[in-house]
Structure 1
Amino acid sequence: MTSDPTRAARKDEHLTLALDQHGDGSAHNEFDDLDFVHHALDGVDAELVELRVTVPHGAGAQHSAGQWEWTTPFYVNGMTGGTDRTTRINRQLAIAARETGMPMACGSVSVALDDPGTAAGFTVIREENPDGFVMANLGVGRPADDAPRAVELLDADALQIHVNAVQETAMPEGSRDFSSWLASVEQLATASPVPVIVKEVGFGLSRRTLRRLTDIGVGVADVGGRGGTDFLRIENARRDDGGYGMLTGFGQSALACLLEAPDPRPTLLASGGVRSPFDVVKALAAGAHAVGVAGAFVTVLGPDGSDDGADRLIALVDGWKARFRGICALLGATSCDDLRTTDLIARGRLREFCESRGVDVTALARRSDARPV
């Protein structure tokens, strides 16, 4: 598909190494460090639980403030595209998104902007899902006029701008100059004809970073925390010397970022290590408006995107929806917004982070006090 075999090989290698990281979803991450206080008489009817979420997106240079209405609280997050193999993956993801109503993001379209011969690996998403909510994806540091080109490629409803300094540091061919990134985010956001979502690729957006994004007018941010696909590990595996293994565990988890987020702040999305509908519930309770899922979905498709992969993913998503409703009913939440008044207990590494950063963990454990008895 691509006229640049080196770039194509890197895309496929990234996918292979990412899939190798995802097993049965039982590995511990900081989602396991967050518990709910159980109130045995607070439950509601699961049939009354609303899956729909509202995501405010703010105003931009070329669009007015508004909100997105999504029919599910979780979505397919940006992963891949640009080779024959990843085209098959994106096709199956797009079919599943269409059939389940999930929004969907693609991987970075930079390769398609540089090499139009790879565009089919991305445009297949809109072809298979003509009426769905689709997010294009572009890396920070690209020229500002790439923003409208990326949006046009997919007729996208939103543009993810991903930031990946840790990945670039370990990447053999990566950049080491991050000094212009904040200005680049602002320029890309200004040039975009649709709302932008600034997204980390797995190392978290700190309180300071979210404040800086607020200051330049970014309306939505995906905190993209540690615990899911580890791009430091991927890039380190591609190095001859493995020299950045010392940074293993670098960054913050999605929950840590959500719990320490400042006010005011962009509308927050969460991703990074989401393995189950219970993790989705926890992220929403911690302050996310919706939750992105990558590894847990793509592994269902198989390594090469077999033709029946979409059916398997549709069945998985339908199961997630049912269990999400059941968990919310148990917690007494008929909507995703209601989850923000549930009582949360932070443990382990997550608690250590919260206490170090001045997050009142006692207040988190007593949020339901404001509810009527």
Structure 2
Amino acid sequence: MNRKDEHLLLAKTQYKAKENDFDAVSFVHQSLVALSDDSIDLSTSIAGLSLDVPFYINAMTGGSEKTKIFNQQLAIVARETGLMMATGSVSAALKDPSVADSYTVIREENPNGLLLGNMGAGRTAEDAKKIVDLLQADGLQIHLNVPQELVMPEGEHDFEQWETNIRQSLELLEVPILVKEVGFGMAQETVQRLVELGVPAIDVSGRGGTSFTKIENSRRKRHELAYLDQWGQSTVVSLLEAQPFANDVTLLASGGIRDAFDIFKALSLGAHAVGISGTFLHTLMSDGIDATIQMVEDWKEQLRRLYLMTGRATTNEVQKNQLMITGAPREWCDLRGIDVRKLATR
């Protein structure tokens, strides 16, 4: 079976909307609200890209005939709901041009929508330009996935050029570049280094959703690396780790997003927008395009109510919400010297 098809099948099979660290985030309720529904503005911006709502379809798939169908369907959802969409890694199309249409179909279905290409940090700046040109992309995601590569049977073990590739891509491309994890989260030191490289937007993409170590381990003849299934930091912890750099870079979040409330929590933790993969893929594969479109519209309405309930007219104001951080994220922050008490009284 094609590796991309295996990823798709395993992601669907292993999907489960389970408890995660977003359950350790709660809000301080304030009873007086001086807003009306007409005041609410869900829009946001990412490195110069303007989004009507603060969530988007994150990188998932591409590289085969089967994944072409799902990218086409996701593109229809994006077109009908106005969501930005990111492709899965386009590296497969660089290796084999015959599968390029599994990615270009997105632009064909949604010619005027915001589209991000995607490649691994092991790819060069020249590859980055080829991807942007191929997709007529509005921006590019460069993903970091060391644990996945090391568990993947055919994965890479040489990461020496990653920083150089990121820096040179930033210099060569005229469209915004977002650097993202693939579900293992980020620590403060990683965020700092990316800021030093000049990256304008960072998706901390934490543990809690699709586990690519679990997927790749399932593809091995012996599942000897199962102890890495839950490697990394959660999205909540990663956003808390990134707090010191919130004024230096645009923070994005993904990983373990189950519903509109999780989106709202991630925004309140400092994300400017939130990417969703697993929940969209599961709904699309289980219930179809129309049900996925309806879910997106429901989330928009729910977010409007959450903004209104907390007295926040804009996405930027949502980042001022008073938060109570408990459980495992609180324990992590205590050990790492991150003061979460200030979030409860800001």
TM-score, normalised on structure 1? Answer: 0.89
Residue 138 (structure 2) pairs with residue 150 (structure 1): no
Alpha-carbon separation, structure 1, partners of 2:254 and 2:210: 10
- Counterpart among 20, 26, 45 of residue 35 in structure 1: 26
User: Aligned residues, how many?
Assistant: 344
Alpha-carbon separation, structure 1, partners of 2:285 and 2:50: 31
Deviation at 1:17, TM superposition (A): 0.6
3-state SS, counterpart of residue 93 of structure 2: helix
Deviation at 1:266, TM superposition (A): 2.2
The answer to whether the Cα contact below 8 Å between 1:148 and 1:193 also exists between their aligned partners in 2 is: no
- Counterpart among 304, 315, 327 of residue 336 in structure 1: 315
**What residue is the counterpart of 2:148 in the other structure?**
167
The answer to whether the Cα contact below 8 Å between 1:151 and 1:193 also exists between their aligned partners in 2 is: no
Deviations 1:150-200 (CA, angstroms, capped at 9, x unpaired) = 001110000000110010111111112223222222123323231110010
**What residue is the counterpart of 1:297 in the other structure?**
280
Tell me, which stretches of 5 or more residues in structure 2 are unaligned? none
Alpha-carbon separation, structure 2, partners of 1:248 and 1:139: 21
Structure 2 letter corresponding to 1:141: G
**What residue is the counterpart of 1:46 in the other structure?**
37
3-state SS, counterpart of residue 56 of structure 2: strand
TM-score, normalised on structure 2? Answer: 0.96
**What residue is the counterpart of 1:69 in the other structure?**
50
**What residue is the counterpart of 1:325 in the other structure?**
304
Residue 5 (structure 2) pairs with residue 12 (structure 1): yes
Deviation at 1:237, TM superposition (A): 0.8
Deviations 1:111-166 (CA, angstroms, capped at 9, x unpaired) = 11111110110001100111110000011111321011000111000000011001
Deviation at 1:248, TM superposition (A): 3.0
Taking only aligned residues, the RMSD between alpha carbons, in angstroms, comes to: 1.4
Deviation at 1:22, TM superposition (A): 1.7
**Percent same amino acid at aligned positions?**
47
In structure 2, the CA distance between the partners of 1:158 and 1:99, relative to structure 1 (3 Å rule), is same
Q: Which moved more, 1:77-86 or 1:251-260?
A: 251-260
- Report 1:118-197 matches (<5 A): 118-197=99-178
**What residue is the counterpart of 1:63 in the other structure?**
none
- Report 1:223-302 matches (<5 A): 223-261=204-242, 262-263=244-245, 265-302=248-285
- Deviating runs (4+, > 3 A) in structure 1? none
The answer to whether the Cα contact below 8 Å between 1:202 and 1:224 also exists between their aligned partners in 2 is: yes
- Counterpart among 113, 116, 127 of residue 97 in structure 2: 116
Residue 333 (structure 2) pairs with residue 354 (structure 1): yes
The answer to whether the Cα contact below 8 Å between 1:220 and 1:266 also exists between their aligned partners in 2 is: yes
Alpha-carbon separation, structure 2, partners of 1:83 and 1:320: 31
Deviation at 1:43, TM superposition (A): 6.5
Structure 1 letter corresponding to 2:91: S
Q: Which moved more, 1:130-139 or 1:182-191?
A: 182-191
Alpha-carbon separation, structure 2, partners of 1:46 and 1:240: 55
The answer to whether the Cα contact below 8 Å between 2:211 and 2:230 also exists between their aligned partners in 1 is: no
The answer to whether the Cα contact below 8 Å between 1:301 and 1:313 also exists between their aligned partners in 2 is: yes
Alpha-carbon separation, structure 1, partners of 2:38 and 2:336: 39
